[in-house]
Amino acid sequence: KSFLNHTAYLSCYFPNSQKTDVKDLRVFWQKGAVEVVHEVYYGQEKHDNLSPKYINRTKMDMDKWTLQLLNAGIVDEGQYTCIIQHRDKGSPKVIHTSVCLLHIIANYSQPEIAWLHTGELKPNEYLSLSCSSSGGYPEPKQMTWLISQENTTYRLMRQMNVSQDAVTKLYNVTSKLNITVPTNTLTNISCFLHLGEQLGSLVSVPLGI
């Protein structure tokens, strides 16, 4: 995983137990089946075969067998393969391959609750609220509402509307809630954006009514 516009680190996981000299090895990285991302040709970096979008964006750490991909973007997501060949009596022989999956993460803004209601609140009327968060990646799992009154808290699921920016590929999400205006009870309403198991959740500032 790498944050948007940061450096991604992709490892070859090559133990080099034979302590082979890099001058006897050809190391190349490719994305998918066709795009060459980086090539170290018997100790020298070689740029002839690189896919144009990776020129000047990669560095190889030969001590750690790790490729640095600079300024990682959403278009860089995908499967990368590291292939290492040994110069064996003239014809190179593949001695190691490994695959890395790159996922890009962009932070969503803190969810924000907005009133869709104008005028005075009256008991037992409907109150309309929306919650929105923007500029994130990947697409979130769901948005839920949490309503707390005195000793009870309950969770409401409402439809989450998702839109993706055509250029940046970042997502914006919104959810709407209609509830009856509470009477004689302090009510706190919060909105949670669930990003998935490993990324956790974001929560809005509670709205007190």
User: pLDDT per residue over 5-18, tens digit each?
Assistant: 999 999 999 888 87
Burial of 82 (0-12, 13-18, 19+ CB in 10 A): buried
64 vs 89, which has greater pLDDT? Answer: 64
The Cα 136–Cα 158 span in angstroms is: 20
CATH number of the domain at 109-208, out of 3.10.50.30, 2.60.40.10, 3.30.70.20, 3.40.50.300?
2.60.40.10
CATH number of the domain at 2-105, out of 2.60.40.10, 3.20.20.70, 4.10.520.10, 2.50.20.10?
2.60.40.10
User: pLDDT per residue over 23-73, tens digit each?
Assistant: 889 899 999 888 999 998 888 888 888 898 899 999 999 888 999 999 999
Mean pLDDT within 106-117: 92
User: pLDDT per residue over 140-190, tens digit each?
Assistant: 989 999 999 888 888 988 999 999 999 999 999 999 998 887 777 888 999
- pLDDT computed for residue 109 by the predictor: 96
Strand partners, 91: 88
The Cα 9–Cα 2 span in angstroms is: 8
The Cα 72–Cα 81 span in angstroms is: 17
Residue intervals of the chain classified under CATH 2.60.40.10 are 2-105, 109-208
Q: Two tokens at 136?
A: 């994130």
The Cα 115–Cα 187 span in angstroms is: 15
- pLDDT computed for residue 92 by the predictor: 84
- pLDDT computed for residue 144 by the predictor: 94
